[in-house]
């Protein structure tokens, strides 16, 4: 629970002919992390990239093209078996190539015709728009077509620039032109200018200088003819689309299944490139949880007909052992938060399960409200159901559900229901007979502040104790004594001092013995920590000043850091108050509007409902961040180095296929 799974490093030699099957079975098994084989250690060559890989990439491109044409999106479908899942790579590729050829024959021609129609339709739509404008402006479209001798320019110009255009035409084209103007349309006028073809360059120059918005007609057809053609295109398009839809519904499952098979083959090939090549076989290296070794070996012995050679090693100190987090299913969603900070080291304590308790409790204290807690719970359910394929979002959804439940619990404790204590009395106490049983944050902030500090004290103590255990487990007893033990002493001593003498420092010095016992001893321990740690190695007198001065900074840093961290927990009270304050403000605003005759109650309901949704989402997120911060900063920094490497086993993920038989 607090320790990661024990790992073994393995080296396996597999004969050529069994390699494909062995890799696939390792992937189906899903617990072995394959690493680059140490070819120098074995004095062998790296496995080369074969022609199969290029063929796989080519097939993938073809399937992706089919997926695009048929507009297939990944969705939840019943997995199928194509009956080839167990076959060799060559057989799988051959089968898929044949099948996609059949589908391509059915759709490629239709698809290219569809693309032509889409292009043609786009061009005609542009022309249709221009022709409609011409019609509204009372200009015959034939003027725009020009001829062997005539050059035509059409476009829009503003009313103010029209005279300028006409003047320039008169001056430059020497009256050898004609201007047809249409009706005014959106403060612009449609203008068609005709001139002799040999003057086309001059005309182009003139129109480019007077804010002329030019357009061109690609077709010579009339508006009626264009509309007819568009209708014909639309019908043909619909026919092709319905044909492609038919193909899609017939082959969708099979295409996604084949895509998955080829992706698996690609991943299997990628694994091959990590291996070492011997004369007759391959060397695979990797990591596997100790408890999975018998099952792993059985599978590989079966597929290699007992020809594989296995060797297992204990991790060496200098090796980067992947960390396989091992937590009960109830706390597993919190692994997402732990990993977001960093993967625990192989020999480090995994804080996930403890966080699964403290996180919802602190969240619930900051967001204590029965109604709002229930809303957070619902948001959690939606998140968990929304993206079942995304492990992180699902985990966050489950975390929100836990947080929602604890918020409801603290809602009962505080007596808060939808942001109002009065609502709690009116709905919960009156109907269910449950009275609020703890602190009211608004009326007893001092009590909640003390509780917040106590929570901080407990959480930080747990962190320091975990650091102590980490040191002891790594056989660094002196480090454990001079480090975390002294820190815990300062924390406990500081709390005892404040609890007995208050915050007046003068009072502290009136009892010097008590002050020495609570803070003096641990501070001396910190001051001489480097000296104590060096005792087993022997210390020369000349080294003493250096060893003592090296810890001077810690002497200031540790007590101040612990004090600052403790104060930081006051945000539990702050956010609990903010929660109540925000909703009090919302109801005050809504109550002002309630007085309006007729629609007052409707507006009041609208503001309260919308405001509650917005505030719960907004504040729910803020509280989440603050809870996360208390864990990441105040707690994790006490003990958690997050220096591990994530365990990433090779795992074949099947969504659309299943293996019918493993024999």
Partner 1 sequence: MVEPLALVGAGIAVGFAALGGGVGIGLAGAASIGAIAEKPEVFSKSLIYVAFAEACAIYGLLIAILILFGVAG
- Interface ranges with partner 1 (CB under 8 A): 340-342, 445-446, 449, 502-503, 564, 567-568, 570-571, 573-574, 628-629, 632-633, 637
β-partners of residue 277 are 45, 282
Please identify which residue in the block is written with the tokens 């404790």: 413
Which one, 139 or 562, has the nearer CB to partner 1? 562
Contacts for 35 with CB less than 8 Å, ≥ 6 apart: 274, 285, 286, 287
The whole-angstrom separation of Cα 182 and Cα 235 is 34
| Least distance between partner 1 and beta carbon 415 (Å) | 19
Which one, 240 or 628, has the nearer CB to partner 1? 628
Helix (H/G/I), strand (E/B), else coil: 180: strand
| Least distance between partner 1 and beta carbon 29 (Å) | 29
| Least distance between partner 1 and beta carbon 573 (Å) | 7
| Least distance between partner 1 and beta carbon 204 (Å) | 47
The whole-angstrom separation of Cα 643 and Cα 576 is 35
| Least distance between partner 1 and beta carbon 338 (Å) | 10
| Secondary structure in 3-state letters for 515-560 | HHHHHHHHHHHHHCHHHHHHHHHCCCHHHHHHHHHCCHHHHHHHHH
Which one, 282 or 639, has the nearer CB to partner 1? 639
CB of 583 closer than 8 Å to CB of 591: no
Please measure the distance between the N-terminal and C-terminal CA atoms of the chain and give it in whole angstroms.
Answer: 36
List the structure tokens of 293. 């070794």
∠ CA 656-659-663 to the nearest 5 degrees? 175
The whole-angstrom separation of Cα 39 and Cα 43 is 6
| Least distance between partner 1 and beta carbon 633 (Å) | 5
| Least distance between partner 1 and beta carbon 525 (Å) | 27
Residue 306 burial (CB < 10 Å; 0-12/13-18/19+)? exposed
Which one, 293 or 628, has the nearer CB to partner 1? 628
The whole-angstrom separation of Cα 573 and Cα 55 is 63
Which one, 87 or 447, has the nearer CB to partner 1? 447
Which one, 278 or 584, has the nearer CB to partner 1? 584
Element (H, E) at 311: strand 309-313
CB of 551 closer than 8 Å to CB of 527: yes
The whole-angstrom separation of Cα 396 and Cα 380 is 7
CB of 331 closer than 8 Å to CB of 369: no
| Least distance between partner 1 and beta carbon 501 (Å) | 11
Which one, 196 or 574, has the nearer CB to partner 1? 574
| Least distance between partner 1 and beta carbon 567 (Å) | 6
| Least distance between partner 1 and beta carbon 179 (Å) | 57
Give Rg (Cα) of the chain.
38
Please identify which residue in the block is written with the tokens 């911060």: 629
């Amino acid at each position: 629970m607090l320790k990661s799974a024990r790992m073994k490093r393995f080296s396996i030699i597999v004969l050529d002919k069994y390699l494909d099957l062995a890799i696939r079975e390792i992937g189906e098994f899903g617990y072995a992390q394959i690493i680059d084989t140490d070819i120098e250690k074995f004095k062998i060559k790296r496995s080369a990239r074969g022609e199969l890989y290029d063929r796989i990439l080519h097939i993938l491109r073809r399937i992706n093209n089919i997926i695009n044409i048929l507009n297939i999106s990944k969705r939840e479908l019943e997995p199928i078996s194509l009956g080839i899942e167990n076959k060799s790579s060559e057989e799988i590729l051959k089968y898929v190539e044949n099948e996609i050829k059949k589908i391509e024959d059915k759709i490629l021609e239709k698809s290219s015709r569809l693309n032509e129609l889409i292009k043609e339709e786009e061009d005609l739509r542009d022309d249709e728009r221009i022709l409609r404008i011409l019609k509204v402006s009372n200009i015959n479209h034939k003027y725009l077509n020009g001829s062997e001798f005539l050059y035509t320019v059409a476009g829009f110009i503003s009313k103010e620039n029209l005279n300028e255009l006409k003047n320039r035409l008169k001056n430059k084209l020497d009256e050898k032109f004609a201007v047809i103007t249409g009706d005014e349309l959106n403060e612009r006028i449609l203008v068609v200018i005709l001139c002799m073809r040999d003057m086309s360059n001059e005309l182009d120059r003139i129109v480019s200088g007077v804010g002329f918005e030019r357009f061109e007609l690609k077709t010579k057809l009339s508006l009626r003819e264009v509309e007819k053609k568009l209708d014909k295109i639309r019908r043909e398009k619909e026919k092709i689309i319905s044909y492609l839809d038919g193909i899609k519904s017939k082959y969708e499952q099979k295409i996604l299944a084949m895509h998955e098979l080829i992706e698996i083959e690609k991943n299997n090939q990628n694994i091959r490139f990590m291996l070492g090549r011997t004369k007759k076989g391959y060397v695979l290296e990797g990591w596997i949880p100790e408890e999975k070794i018998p099952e792993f070996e059985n599978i590989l012995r079966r597929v290699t007909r007992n020809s594989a050679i296995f060797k297992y090693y204990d991790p060496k100190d200098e090796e980067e052992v992947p960390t396989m987090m091992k937590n009960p299913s109830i706390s597993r969603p919190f692994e997402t938060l732990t990993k977001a900070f960093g993967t625990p080291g192989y020999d480090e304590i995994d804080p996930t399960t403890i966080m699964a308790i403290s996180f919802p409790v602190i969240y619930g204290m900051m967001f204590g409200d029965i109604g709002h807690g229930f809303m957070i719970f619902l948001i959690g359910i939606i998140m968990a159901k929304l993206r079942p394929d995304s492990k992180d979002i699902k985990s966050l959804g489950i975390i929100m559900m836990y947080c929602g439940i604890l918020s409801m619990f603290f809602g009962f404790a505080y007596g808060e229901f939808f942001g109002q204590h009065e609502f709690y009395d009116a709905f919960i106490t009156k109907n269910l007979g449950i009275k609020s049983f703890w602190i009211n944050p608004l009326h007893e902030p001092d009590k909640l502040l003390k509780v917040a500090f106590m929570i901080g004290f407990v959480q930080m103590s747990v962190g320091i104790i975990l650091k102590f255990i980490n040191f002891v487990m790594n056989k660094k007893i002196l480090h454990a004594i001079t480090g975390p033990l002294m820190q815990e002493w300062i924390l406990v001593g500081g709390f005892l001092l404040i609890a007995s003498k208050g915050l007046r420092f003068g009072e502290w010095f009136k009892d010097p013995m008590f002050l020495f016992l609570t803070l003096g001893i641990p501070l001396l321990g910190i001051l001489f920590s480097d000296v104590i740690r060096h005792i087993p190695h022997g210390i020369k007198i000349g080294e003493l000043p250096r060893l003592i001065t090296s810890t001077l900074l810690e002497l200031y840093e540790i007590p101040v850091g612990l004090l600052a961290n403790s104060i930081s927990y006051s945000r539990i009270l702050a956010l609990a108050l903010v929660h109540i304050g925000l909703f009090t403000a919302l109801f005050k605003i809504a109550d002002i509007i309630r007085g309006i005759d007729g629609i007052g109650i409707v507006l009041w309901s609208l503001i309260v409902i919308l405001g509650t949704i917005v505030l719960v989402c907004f504040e729910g997120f803020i509280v989440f961040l603050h809870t996360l911060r208390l864990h990441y900063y105040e707690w994790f920094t006490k003990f958690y180095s997050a220096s591990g490497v994530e365990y990433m086993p090779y795992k074949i993920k099947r969504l659309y296929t299943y293996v019918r038989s493993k024999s």
